[in-house]
Structure 1
């Protein structure tokens, strides 16, 4: 026993014996039969140590607890059932037992954890760490791990994060009130900063992040310059293509030409949104009137109709929305340096304006990556289904494609895309093609509509999807590449003042 414990640097005598493994075992899981009385102490998600009779020590997590009593088995007649019905008392507890299924973290050797490839022998002793001064998660550390958060019910057990997999992108999922923004502010952003990333946070509603950072770190979306392509997308979406059936028309071509040539001067010279629209209307009308030439089939009737639709469409635009496109802060100045945080407060803009702003931002990031730059940037996207929904429409088709491109290129250019969403899949979730790029996920309390999708991710590790409906706010399953443990860990975090 002493030789085995030396690989763990912990005397097994200091740990508490809680049970033995039952039948049937494998290299990745084993049933645990609890010693009498331990059912009151051992909890789901507790980390335990298996002293394998076939050799070696294995760290594991308790999952899927069950209490069984053959005297009380329902569905058929038994003397125990008859006794309960006639007396209202429980029968003998001689046939009562309590079980967990152990999901393996890995085998401990030379002070580190490696994948287990030895079948666990039934009858192997199982020890609990809870209540001792030993943190078993320390054996998951590597040279590139960062410590943050803690294992649920063990505030002193820091969680290791493998920083090498940060550019493989992150998803944070949880229903309203699950603590997604708290997790992002108090755990994810500090980890990203420690890893040498700058953090650019797009705060969709302006309430989850902007109020919690210094004023110098927050930039209203109305102060950020926009591109002519973004403003054109906004115009066509907001006016429904000015009443034309297709996206391409005489008016849309004239608008595109004018904006590409005069956008910078329009923003610079116009002092108000109404003045900008008036100048734009004059330039487009001038362009339209100059289109018919001798031999052209375009008639004056169609030009007049386009001019009328232009005036009607521009007059319906809310001026406060147009103002969000008149910012002077350059996109390049918006992107933070390593170790810094910038938050874009988007609450004053319309949904379309927010999405077209994202197109401008993503253009800048993609251009830098095409040039071969290492960005060292984490792009945190709040309310991700607004950008890349299950079935994108309108501008969302473009934003979904841009996020795909950012994810594909980001892995090689140190860009981490962090998507925050109330739902995982379907109508309340994000696009499946995007979801497949999120190689690290934090899954908190979910909506019942997400049970099936959560089950696909967590059921192989013995986690019942139904249990996610009852998670407390601030509790998340940590799954994927950044987790050095192959089985998910239920984590939480301290909320800084």
Structure 2
């Protein structure tokens, strides 16, 4: 360790002013770990150096002195010096770092910690995703904080995905948690875990979602056209099953309460009976098992028949026909094919392999939100059935697309995890560029934050509203390099936010 200065007057148990020796000021960098040696009390304090400023007693901007009118005197008579604050973490003891009860005495010597060999700290076991930037000391994150939720925030290029990758690897290696990762772009996690990737485009979509996607893409009025589209979709499915798998129609109407018992009916159920008694849970299973083929030409024919049966106006028929050809086209209906996975399959994959990465990159945003929500709802179904902790971490990349107040079904699903997940070992990790876009109710339940350069000043202010940043300023964040993050909150083994350099991942 290197001696850099002395504690000045006015210290407290949270902050202590430090006067830095001029000849060693180049060793005093903000966010360095320091040891304050209070020899009078035989105590050593651990802290972080912050808010370094350069001062000169005779050149106070609020006072006029002779130096102003005689600039030549500056060369011989001034006493410039650096000063800062030690943000106190605690008192170093045999059992680690304990909360300070007394402030350090003025005159106590201040040393910077330059390497892990300078200081032996007992911080417990945990998830090591990196080391303190300057000292190289490992900062293990407490895994007990996983179900209390984690937020990872940083502007583009700060290394969020590398941090999350390191975190995932540590969770898999050191805990019994399973992990479900939703990869928004398909380029952040799918490339790391190629053997554990499933395509989101294989997930079966429900009829109401397909209806919403058609309405959104075409811009058609919901009140007018939703009934036509939804009935046409169900008619298409009914006719396909009646032709290819007629025996399954009995299963689909076997119980209006959702059971699967078969009812002996001597004739094929009519579409109206199918519509009135359909078991939608079983329908999703059949769509996955039998892989119904969607075709725009066949669907348009069914749509015309539905419009005629429902006595739609000719203008509605024309508008729907144009919308299907111009705004949807062949590709939309092809995207509904080859979907053979249910949410329970994704959860089951995670249970069997500890990790599953769902590549959402080829889906519409509404479909992505549906997939996220349906998988989370499946986790809750298991919890409600077994009434025991599920020990699962849900990782959501580009989380502002899923946890915003206007994000619909995914927002509701994530909100439930944030409120209730800790009791059942169900945690969520949200990685985002903009904290301000995350619903306040969700971010208010996140108890560990890892943050780097932020996108806007508003993000910094929002973070301050949920976390004591202990002297960290926007200027400090602005000069952070790639893979440099502050860690704060429940998983941090130290009392105050600490700067870590995330390890290189492969």
**TM exceeding 0.5:** yes
Equivalences, count: 455
Look up the SS of the partner of 2:358 in the other structure: strand
Asked if residue 72 in structure 1 is aligned to residue 72 in structure 2, the reply is: no
Deviation at 1:373, TM superposition (A): 4.1
CA distance in structure 2 between the aligned counterparts of 1:280 and 1:195, rounded to whole angstroms: 52
Seen in structure 2, the aligned counterparts of structure 1 residues 130 and 314 have a Cα distance that, compared at 3 Å, is same
User: Which residue pairs with 1:362 in the alignment?
Assistant: 376
Task: Kindly report which structure 2 residues correspond to 1:245-260, keeping only aligned pairs within 5 A, or say none.
Answer: 245=223, 260=280
Look up the SS of the partner of 1:31 in the other structure: strand
Deviation at 1:110, TM superposition (A): 2.9
User: Which residue pairs with 1:191 in the alignment?
Assistant: 170
User: Which residue pairs with 2:95 in the alignment?
Assistant: 111
Task: Kindly report which structure 2 residues correspond to 1:382-461, keeping only aligned pairs within 5 A, or say none.
Answer: 382-389=397-404, 391-392=405-406, 396-425=407-436, 429-449=437-457, 450-456=459-465, 460-461=469-470
Task: Check conservation: 1:62, 1:100, Cα contact below 8 A.
Answer: yes
Q: 413-422 or 358-367: which moved more? A: 358-367
Asked if residue 147 in structure 1 is aligned to residue 134 in structure 2, the reply is: no
CA distance in structure 2 between the aligned counterparts of 1:488 and 1:209, rounded to whole angstroms: 27
User: 1:92 pairs with 49, 56, 77, which one?
Assistant: 77
Deviation at 1:409, TM superposition (A): 2.6
Task: Check conservation: 1:202, 1:381, Cα contact below 8 A.
Answer: yes
User: Which residue pairs with 1:164 in the alignment?
Assistant: 144
Task: Check conservation: 1:48, 1:126, Cα contact below 8 A.
Answer: yes
User: Which residue pairs with 1:340 in the alignment?
Assistant: 354
Asked if residue 37 in structure 1 is aligned to residue 37 in structure 2, the reply is: no
User: 1:480 pairs with 489, 497, 502, which one?
Assistant: 489
Across the aligned residues of Structure 1 and Structure 2, the Cα RMSD in angstroms comes to: 3.2
1:142-173 residue CA offsets vs partner (Å, 9 max, x unmatched): xx533331111233x11111111111111111
Look up the SS of the partner of 1:19 in the other structure: strand
Look up the SS of the partner of 1:405 in the other structure: helix
Which 5+ residue runs of structure 2 have no aligned equivalent?
235-274
Q: 399-408 or 452-461: which moved more? A: 452-461
Seen in structure 2, the aligned counterparts of structure 1 residues 248 and 366 have a Cα distance that, compared at 3 Å, is farther
User: 1:57 pairs with 44, 60, 75, which one?
Assistant: 44
CA distance in structure 2 between the aligned counterparts of 1:368 and 1:280, rounded to whole angstroms: 39
Q: 471-480 or 55-64: which moved more? A: 55-64
Look up the SS of the partner of 1:24 in the other structure: coil
Asked if residue 26 in structure 1 is aligned to residue 47 in structure 2, the reply is: no
User: Which residue pairs with 1:10 in the alignment?
Assistant: none
Deviation at 1:221, TM superposition (A): 1.4
CA distance in structure 2 between the aligned counterparts of 1:119 and 1:271, rounded to whole angstroms: 72
Task: Check conservation: 1:222, 1:323, Cα contact below 8 A.
Answer: no
User: Which residue pairs with 1:282 in the alignment?
Assistant: 302
CA distance in structure 1 between the aligned counterparts of 2:14 and 2:122, rounded to whole angstroms: 18
Deviation at 1:287, TM superposition (A): 10
Look up the SS of the partner of 1:410 in the other structure: helix
CA distance in structure 1 between the aligned counterparts of 2:36 and 2:351, rounded to whole angstroms: 46
User: 1:471 pairs with 480, 491, 503, which one?
Assistant: 480
CA distance in structure 1 between the aligned counterparts of 2:353 and 2:371, rounded to whole angstroms: 24
User: 1:492 pairs with 480, 501, 506, which one?
Assistant: 501
CA distance in structure 2 between the aligned counterparts of 1:339 and 1:25, rounded to whole angstroms: 53
Look up the SS of the partner of 1:378 in the other structure: strand
Look up the SS of the partner of 2:361 in the other structure: coil
CA distance in structure 1 between the aligned counterparts of 2:316 and 2:380, rounded to whole angstroms: 35
CA distance in structure 2 between the aligned counterparts of 1:180 and 1:368, rounded to whole angstroms: 31
Task: Check conservation: 1:59, 1:107, Cα contact below 8 A.
Answer: yes
CA distance in structure 1 between the aligned counterparts of 2:55 and 2:133, rounded to whole angstroms: 26
Deviation at 1:440, TM superposition (A): 0.7
Seen in structure 2, the aligned counterparts of structure 1 residues 90 and 337 have a Cα distance that, compared at 3 Å, is farther
Task: Kindly report which structure 2 residues correspond to 1:309-324, keeping only aligned pairs within 5 A, or say none.
Answer: 313-315=323-325, 316-324=327-335
Deviation at 1:312, TM superposition (A): 5.3
User: 2:109 pairs with 110, 125, 131, which one?
Assistant: 125
Scaled by the length of structure 2, the TM-score of the pair is 0.80
1:185-242 residue CA offsets vs partner (Å, 9 max, x unmatched): 1x2111221222222211111112212222x2111212233344543443444445x4
1:341-375 residue CA offsets vs partner (Å, 9 max, x unmatched): 22112221122221222232222122122222432
Deviation at 1:318, TM superposition (A): 4.8
Which 5+ residue runs of structure 1 have no aligned equivalent?
1-14, 290-299
User: 2:200 pairs with 205, 209, 221, which one?
Assistant: 221
1:257-292 residue CA offsets vs partner (Å, 9 max, x unmatched): 5793855555655664326x8359738955983xxx
Task: Check conservation: 2:33, 2:135, Cα contact below 8 A.
Answer: no
CA distance in structure 2 between the aligned counterparts of 1:485 and 1:339, rounded to whole angstroms: 33
Task: Check conservation: 1:64, 1:101, Cα contact below 8 A.
Answer: yes
CA distance in structure 2 between the aligned counterparts of 1:49 and 1:255, rounded to whole angstroms: 69
Scaled by the length of structure 1, the TM-score of the pair is 0.81
Seen in structure 2, the aligned counterparts of structure 1 residues 264 and 288 have a Cα distance that, compared at 3 Å, is farther
Deviation at 1:481, TM superposition (A): 0.5
Look up the SS of the partner of 2:45 in the other structure: strand
Task: Check conservation: 1:455, 1:464, Cα contact below 8 A.
Answer: no
Task: Check conservation: 2:5, 2:18, Cα contact below 8 A.
Answer: yes
Seen in structure 2, the aligned counterparts of structure 1 residues 146 and 45 have a Cα distance that, compared at 3 Å, is same
